């Protein structure tokens, strides 16, 4: 049975742009600057890493924008891989994303959210309780079942609150933070550790290279809007613009925020504590400020969960339309246009992971594999330009082929570095990929028999 399409598109260009920004700005901006400062141990290098990460994110944005304009269908990244290389790589991508990356990472985000809610409201949220995560997942899923637009409005509000929290933290630092406060960020023990680290530091270029992965992690998420492109009004024009304006907006926000952190705290102050944002709020605004920041970070976590709940189920829809998943998952609710079955399965997977052990290790393993597909989608654009020049391309990547090639080289560097590393992460990630490859043919045969 063919998929039912709602008569009216749900998301405006503004909604789409905020979805892009909400998919990128999560909780990383409150923590990763500390890690970057430890690797890029010169102020100019610290800011250069954020600028470089933003430039590469824009190269990825140009790549996805061209493909999104050419294939404005539900499924996004899955569709791009299918059109470039066929159903097998597209299936492997969906296998890794649906069953590990999306559901696992969202469970990790909700675990973090629980901790922030406990810090903000200890009298209401007991330490270690998983009930808030369960309730948030169920409520957001229920709202999305009532229509993508309603869920997007909630995400829009969350996105605006994220910006307010960041802006408030920056302004509070400038207005209420003194040089004595900055000195307090580096304790005597921390200063001694910093001195030892200075003697043991690798060359700066190596530290900057090590800082690339956390920078990219903090910039990741520009592709989320592509999953739900079929729900955007005039997707051929709106989705590419949303990707570009959203990524550019995040680059500006990140550069301004990190320049302010550097100005107020100095590089040592940022590097001294991964929770520098919470300490900054506590020093400038007192215990109330720390609570407000914790609540803001919890809302930020809920916002990025909302982005994933809104967009990722459309991968199931795309797989079902391709014959790689149960056909019933391609059917949308006749009134709300929501993929109810996909939303239900996604919520179940997230809740399973909420109670899983070794969650962070599993997600880290799968994220390494995801960068293989980052490289494939960049190569796919070049391949489609060469093999299918007749395709409509309402948006063409600027300075082609520079943008996809920079994106491709970055992906190859990250994958290659991980493969050469001694960590077991790569083996777990490759095992996940291998299981997907072994499942592919029996799964297709099973679905064909059912059909």
pLDDT in tens, 117-166: 888 888 888 887 888 888 999 999 999 999 888 888 988 998 998 888 88
Q: Which residues contact 109 (CB under 8 A, 6 or more apart)?
A: 26, 27, 301, 304, 305
Bridge partners of 228, per DSSP, are 74
pLDDT in tens, 244-270: 999 999 999 999 989 888 888 888 888
Instruction: Give 406's pLDDT tier (boundaries 50, 70, 90).
Output: very high
Instruction: Give 89's pLDDT tier (boundaries 50, 70, 90).
Output: very high
Burial of 158 (0-12, 13-18, 19+ CB in 10 A): buried
Residue 154 CA to residue 306 CA, distance in Å, equals: 8
Cβ–Cβ under 8 Å, residues 114 and 132: yes
Smallest Cα–Cα separation from 212: which of 94, 36, 21? 36
Cβ–Cβ under 8 Å, residues 228 and 11: yes
Cβ–Cβ under 8 Å, residues 225 and 242: yes
Residue 344 CA to residue 38 CA, distance in Å, equals: 42
What domains are defined for the chain?
A: 13-76+105-356 (1.20.1740.10)
| pLDDT score recorded for residue 69 | 92
3-state percent breakdown (helix, strand, coil) of the chain, nearest 5: 80, 0, 20
Which range, of 92-106, 207-221, 309-323, 330-344, averages the lowest pLDDT?
207-221
Q: Helix 235-271 crosses helix 148-176 at what angle (to 10 degrees)? A: 30
Instruction: Enter the DSSP assignment of 74.
Output: B
| pLDDT score recorded for residue 358 | 61
| pLDDT score recorded for residue 359 | 59
234: left (phi over 0), alpha (psi -120 to 50) or beta: left
Residue 305 CA to residue 370 CA, distance in Å, equals: 19
| pLDDT score recorded for residue 317 | 92
Burial of 192 (0-12, 13-18, 19+ CB in 10 A): exposed
Residue 261 CA to residue 446 CA, distance in Å, equals: 55
| pLDDT score recorded for residue 168 | 84
Q: What is the CA radius of gyration of the chain?
A: 22
Q: Residue 326: which H helix or E strand, with range?
A: none
Angle at 257 between CA 238 and CA 407, to 5 degrees: 50
3 has pLDDT over 50: no
End-to-end CA distance of the chain: 10
Q: Which residues contact 189 (CB under 8 A, 6 or more apart)?
A: none
pLDDT in tens, 22-54: 989 888 888 888 888 888 878 888 999 999 999
Smallest Cα–Cα separation from 102: which of 443, 414, 342, 425? 342
Peptide bond into 401 cis (omega under 30): yes
Tokens of 62: 């140009």
State the residue for tokens 């989320």.
224
């Amino acid at each position: 049975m063919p998929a039912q399409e709602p008569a009216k598109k749900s998301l405006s260009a503004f909604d789409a742009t905020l979805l892009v920004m909400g998919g990128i700005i999560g909780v990383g901006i409150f923590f990763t600057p500390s890690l970057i400062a430890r690797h890029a141990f010169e102020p100019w290098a610290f800011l250069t890493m954020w600028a470089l990460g933003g430039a590469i994110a824009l190269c990825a944005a140009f790549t996805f924008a061209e493909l999104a304009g050419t294939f404005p269908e539900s499924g996004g990244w899955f569709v791009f891989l299918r059109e470039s290389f066929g159903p097998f790589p597209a299936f492997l991508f969906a296998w890794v994303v649906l069953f590990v990356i999306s559901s696992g990472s969202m469970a990790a985000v909700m675990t973090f959210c629980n901790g922030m809610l406990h810090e903000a409201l200890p009298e209401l949220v007991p330490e270690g309780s998983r009930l808030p995560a369960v309730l948030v997942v169920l409520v957001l899923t229920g709202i999305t079942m009532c229509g993508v637009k309603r869920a997007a409005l909630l995400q829009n509000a969350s996105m605006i609150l994220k910006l307010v929290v960041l802006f408030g933290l920056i302004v509070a630092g400038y207005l209420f933070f003194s040089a004595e406060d900055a000195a307090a960020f580096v304790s005597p023990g921390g200063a001694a550790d910093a001195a030892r680290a200075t003697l043991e530091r690798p060359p700066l270029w190596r530290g900057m290279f090590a800082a690339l992965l956390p920078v990219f992690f903090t910039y990741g998420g520009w592709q989320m809007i592509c999953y739900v492109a079929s729900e955007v009004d005039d997707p051929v024009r709106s989705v590419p613009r949303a990707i570009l304006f959203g990524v550019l907006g995040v680059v500006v926000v990140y550069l301004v925020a990190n320049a302010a952190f550097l100005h107020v705290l100095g590089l040592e102050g940022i590097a001294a504590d991964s929770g520098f944002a919470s300490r900054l709020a506590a020093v400038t605004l007192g215990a109330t400020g720390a609570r407000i920041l914790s609540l803001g970070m919890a809302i930020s976590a809920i916002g990025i969960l909302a982005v994933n709940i809104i967009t990722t189920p459309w991968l199931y829809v795309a797989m079902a339309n391709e014959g790689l998943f149960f056909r019933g998952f391609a059917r949308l609710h006749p009134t709300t246009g929501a993929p109810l079955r996909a939303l239900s399965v996604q919520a179940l997977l997230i809740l399973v992971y909420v109670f899983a052990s070794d969650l962070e290790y599993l997600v880290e393993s799968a994220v390494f594999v995801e960068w293989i597909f980052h490289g494939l989608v960049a190569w796919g654009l070049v391949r489609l330009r060469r093999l299918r020049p007749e395709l409509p391309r309402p948006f063409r990547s600027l300075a082609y082929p520079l943008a996809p090639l920079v994106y491709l080289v970055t992906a190859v560097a990250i994958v290659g570095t991980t493969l050469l590393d001694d960590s077991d992460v790569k083996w777990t990630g490759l095992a996940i990929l291998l299981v997907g490859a072994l499942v592919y043919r029996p799964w297709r045969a099973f679905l064909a028999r059912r059909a």
